[in-house]
Amino acid sequence: METVSIIIPNYNGAKWLSPCLESIRKHVTMPHEVIVVDNGSSDPSLRLCLQHKVKLVSLPGNRGFPAACNFGLRVSTGDALMLLNNDTQMTAGALDNMMRCLYSSDDVGLVGPMTNYASGKQKIKEPFTSIADMAARMNQPDSLQWRETERIVGLCFLFKRELMDRIGELDERFSPGHFEDDDYCYRARQAGYRLFIVGDAFIYHRGSASFKLESRDKIKALLKTNRQKFIDKWGVDPHAFI
């Protein structure tokens, strides 16, 4: 059976990280490891990680989301690698169904779940009721719910180690965050891998929790800057894939 490394970047997110770690403990039954990469938090995040006995990478300062993910990837041991936002919550059966999709074919390289908060095709169309209710209704195994796509949102990225071995880590030019997920998806497709939205997997997402610590104007400027970095790198607009 394949093992999974779940990598969670964190910056002063203890109040979100706690339910995230608890949801993994409760709902992930397959062989796995949890790696929290902390970006120099001053809140109780480090103590929380010690309490949950996860693998902890503690950075002295805030290196941003892509760099934190890369630190986690370097110490990971799993066959499959999951980059998971700290403001998400796993649900019963979601990871199992995502793994079924990921390993359904050799050319599937990267998959992501449905969620209540995301841009693009992964956002559920029906009204959100509760985490338990959405999971009970959506996480029934059904491969007919898998949809090939050009883009997976980085709130929950599950990919094969062989993909990383082939295309490398996240591009840290997009630090502190935004569009590093679009870039990784583009690189995966350039390397011949297919991407899938796993329609029979629901994961709860609180939504942009870390970036809500920043001002709206600052986030808007960052989005504009990093979108242009993507265009400069690839010659295409990432918004074409949403």
Q: Distance of alpha carbon 49 from its chain centroid, rounded?
A: 19
Please give the pLDDT value at position 210: 52
Give the CA diameter of the chain: 46
DSSP, collapsed to helix, strand or coil, labels residue 102 as helix
**What is the structure's pLDDT at 216?**
82
Structure tokens at 179: 């569009």
Q: Which of 75, 58, 179, 162 lies closest to 110 in space, CA to CA?
A: 162
Question: Which tokens belong to 17?
Answer: 């990280």
| Whole-number pLDDT of residue 52 | 95
Predicted structure pTM score: 0.95
Q: Which pLDDT tens digit goes with each residue over 202-239? A: 999 998 655 555 678 888 999 999 999 999 999 999 99
- Given a contact cutoff of 8 angstroms between Cβ atoms, the answer to whether 115 and 122 are in contact is yes
Give pLDDT, residue 184.
98
pLDDT for the residue 39: 97
Question: Could you say which residues of the chain have pLDDT below 50?
Answer: none
What single string gives the DSSP state of each residue in 160-204?
EHHHHHHH-S--GGGTTSSSHHHHHHHHHHHTT-EEEEEEEEEEE
Burial of 123 (0-12, 13-18, 19+ CB in 10 A): middle
Domains of the chain: 4-241 (3.90.550.10)
Predicted pLDDT of residue 167: 98
Residue carrying structure tokens 């011949």: 192
CA angle 219, 164, 192 (to 5 degrees): 95
